[in-house]
Structures are given as C-alpha cells and as structure tokens.
Amino acid sequence: MTSQTPLEAVIRAEIAERGPMGLDRYMALCLAHPQHGYYRKQDPLGMSGDFVTAPEISQIFGELIGLWVAQCWIDQGRPAPFALVETGPGRGTLMADALRATRAVPGFHDGMQLNLVETSPVLRGRQKETLRDYDVTWRDRFDETPDLPLLLVANEFFDALPIRQFERAGDGWRERLVAIVDEKLDLQSGPLRPEPHLSIRGDDLPEGGLIETSEISETIAAEIGEQLRARGGAALIIDYGYDATMRSRAGGVDTIQAMRDHNFVNPFDDPGEADLTAHVDFDALASAANVRKHGIVDQGAFLLGLGAAQRAEALAKTHPDQAHDVKGALHRLTDASEMGTLFKAMALTADPAPPPAAFPA
C-alpha cells in the first residue's frame, strides 16, 4: 500500500461507511476540509505555488477591471453607499490594482463598502497585507454581504466550486461517483436514475455523454441575481468555461482537472495536495441569476476592448527597464495561444442598467 495523505484516509473512511461519494463531496473535502483542505492550508498562487492567475501576471488586469467597475457605477448614477464585492480574491492583488486605478474617480472610494468573500484563512492573511490601506470586511459567504447596490468581481472563483458529473444512459442518468477501484480512489458509474433536473441541459447529449452541474455555483449566482434585481449594479465573472452552444458541441466533456506545481496531475492522487477545478458553465450561472447576461466574450477581446494595449504601452514608457516584461504579460493575458480565448468574461446586470463597457450591446 502506498502512503496516503491524511485526507485520503478521511475520504476512504467516509466511502467505507456511506458508499461512493459524489464528485461535489470529494471536491469539497479536497478543497475545503477544515484541517486538510487545499485552500485551508496554503497560499497556492504564484510561481512558488501551484498555479498563476491573471492578476498575478500583470497589474493591467486589475486596473482595467477596476475601471470597468467604476464605469458601471457611473453609468448607473453613482449609487452610494454601494457594495464592492470580490469573491475568491486570492492574494488581494486584483482588488489592490483596481482600487489604485479608481482613486481618481470622484466619490467611488467614499461610497464603497469593500467586502471580500473568502474562506481560506491563509489567503485572508495575504489579503489583509495587500489591502492594509483599506477598510475591508471579510465574509464567509456571498449572502452575508450588505444589501446594497452591488458591484461584484469574481475571477477564477467559480472554477473552484464543487461540481457533479452525470452520464447519459438511455432515458436516465448515472452519476459518476468517487469510489475505491482496485484499491485506489477513482470514478465509478452510480445507479441509473431519472434526474429530471438535468433534462433542460442534457437532452441533446448522446449515450454516454457527460454533463457537469454545480449546485453551489448556481445558488451563489441566484443570490447575486437577486441582489442585482433588488438594488442594481453589475457582476463581472471571468473564468475558463463554456456556454450552452459550446457545451452541446463538445458532446459533454469531463473538465475536472488537478494542478500541482504548475503541472496537471490525476485528481484522485494525493487528495488535498493539488488544486482541483472544473470549467464554468456560464449559461447555467446566467439562468440561475435570472438577470441580463452580457457575453460571454474572450478575455483577450475584453481586455483589449478596455485598452490593455494602450495601458501596456504607457507602462513600458514609464518603466523602460520593464518594457519587455510588460509586453510578455500583455501577450499572456490576451493572446489566443495563452489565456486570451481559454478564459471568458461574462457580465450580469438587471434592467434598467445600461450595457457595461467592452461587451457587445
């Protein structure tokens, strides 16, 4: 028997007691177990961590998002007070860049109540440091944020939320469950069930085709939509993912992936030691939110539409020694061979808000 992580022992014991578990339970344990969960133990970001995100690549990302948010706020008549909320803020880098870029927007900082939704104590610590000049309130959940006009940013947040997988089997579905297979943790098909809630999304899938759902993501999206309808504002969601047309074109794909030390690894090896993510179903989020959806657009087009190239040029001029790095970072964020088309942006607003910047009207 190979050596087990402490979390693997917990998972095996639960399977022994209750039978195979849904992927959502498995992901929740891997990412958020109070002692052994991946996000509870460490700061996974940056070169020394397991993966690098857009705000860590260049300040341009957070700055442009800050200006996008401020423009939405101005277009909606500068409501004050308002809640500026980021879910899953990582090291706080995006927010720090956004706040620096919006300092000159009259009334914006005075009117904002800054709320960060973060479950990781380690990352809360990092955010506290990065944002030490600001008045921040931390929340465990989105529904604890104040009931105010909402400007929300979520970058690589929804991909970290647990999903379930179902495969088409005749008129019904089999859930893919985590079980012990040949002594190891692996996926196994569960019993045949009707699962009527899947039919809206899964009817055109071929036999054996796969569908992924994320109940927690849809619950949060519904809460965001409710607040937008009641109080106004806008939400910006950026992640890797797909919409309904891409979903059916792909015939249903398994998008779960594990990353450790900048490499893909088996999601069932060493639970709790790798970052587990799944692609985001943007249309499922939009339907749950039940407000107006803008996009999805490619991250590259979104950033260039907000002036990323001009900002990069200006930065390179002020810091000639960093010109090469700035150019490289712009390429990484916007080029199709890098993050430019893999990542998508979607905005949500409720009527009568005008369409947000950099999304086709």
Binding-site ranges for ligand SAH (CB under 6 A): 39, 45, 53-56, 87-90, 94, 117-120, 123, 155-157, 160-161
Whether residue 296 is preceded by a cis peptide bond, meaning omega within 30 degrees of 0, is yes
Please compute, for residue 256, the number of CA atoms within 13 A of its CA located in the half-sphere on the CB side: 25
Q: How far is the CB of 140 from ligand SAH (least distance, A)?
A: 7
Q: How far is the CB of 159 from ligand SAH (least distance, A)?
A: 8
Among residues 24 and 56, whose Cβ is nearest to ligand SAH? 56
Q: How far is the CB of 45 from ligand SAH (least distance, A)?
A: 6
Among residues 87 and 227, whose Cβ is nearest to ligand SAH? 87
Strands 343-349 and 233-242 turn out to be antiparallel
Q: How far is the CB of 49 from ligand SAH (least distance, A)?
A: 10
146-169: b (≥16 Cβ within 10 Å) or e: bebbbbbbbbbbbbbbbbbbbbbe
Measured torsion, CA atoms of residues 269, 272, 275, 278, in degrees rounded to the nearest 10: 80
Among residues 102 and 155, whose Cβ is nearest to ligand SAH? 155
Q: How far is the CB of 354 from ligand SAH (least distance, A)?
A: 26
Q: How far is the CB of 127 from ligand SAH (least distance, A)?
A: 8
* Residue reference for tokens 């927010």: 95
DSSP per-residue codes, 95-130: HHHHHHHTTTSTTHHHHEEEEEE---HHHHHHHHHH
DSSP per-residue codes, 228-270: HHHH-EEEEEEEEEE-HHHHHHTTS----EEEETTEEE-TTSS
Among residues 117 and 205, whose Cβ is nearest to ligand SAH? 117
Q: Which residue of this chain has its Cβ atom nearest to ligand SAH in the complex?
A: 88
Mention every residue, 6+ apart, whose C-beta is less than 8 A from residue 28. 162
Q: How far is the CB of 84 from ligand SAH (least distance, A)?
A: 14
Among residues 29 and 94, whose Cβ is nearest to ligand SAH? 94
- Coil, helix or strand for 167? strand
Determine the residue type at 204. D
Tell me 147's DSSP state. Answer: S
Mention every residue, 6+ apart, whose C-beta is less than 8 A from residue 29. 7, 10, 11, 14, 37, 271, 272
Mention every residue, 6+ apart, whose C-beta is less than 8 A from residue 159. 239, 240, 241, 277, 278, 279, 280
Among residues 22 and 88, whose Cβ is nearest to ligand SAH? 88
Among residues 53 and 145, whose Cβ is nearest to ligand SAH? 53
CB 56 within 8 A of CB 89: no
Among residues 57 and 112, whose Cβ is nearest to ligand SAH? 57
Q: How far is the CB of 206 from ligand SAH (least distance, A)?
A: 33
Among residues 160 and 286, whose Cβ is nearest to ligand SAH? 160
Tell me 205's DSSP state. Answer: P
CB 82 within 8 A of CB 111: yes
Q: How far is the CB of 59 from ligand SAH (least distance, A)?
A: 13
Among residues 52 and 244, whose Cβ is nearest to ligand SAH? 52
Q: How far is the CB of 30 from ligand SAH (least distance, A)?
A: 11
